[in-house]
Amino acid sequence: MRTFILLAVVVAVASAAIAPRPTRPDKAPTPDRDAPSRGDRRRGGGSGAGGGSGSGASGYGSSYYAPPPPPPPHKGDGLDKLDKLFSRVDAVSDQLKTVSEQVVALEARQAVQVRLFDRLVTVTLEALANTDENQNDRLTQLEAFLTALEDEFKNELEPAVDNLQHLNMANKAERLAIDTLLNEETDLDIGQAGRIARLVSITADFQDRLRQVRLAERERKR
Residue-wise pLDDT for 170-186, tens only, equals 888 888 999 999 999 89
Separation between Cα atoms, residue 182 and residue 15, nearest integer Å: 121
Separation between Cα atoms, residue 40 and residue 65, nearest integer Å: 8
Which position has the higher pLDDT, 35 or 140?
140
User: Mean pLDDT, to the nearest integer, of 51-59?
Assistant: 41
**pLDDT for 46 beyond 70:** no
Q: Across the chain, what does the average pLDDT equal?
A: 73
**pLDDT for 22 beyond 50:** no
Give the pTM.
0.28
The region of weakest confidence among 39-53, 90-104, 147-161, 172-186 is: 39-53
Separation between Cα atoms, residue 50 and residue 60, nearest integer Å: 13
Q: How confident is the model at residue 219 (pLDDT cuts 50, 70, 90)?
A: confident
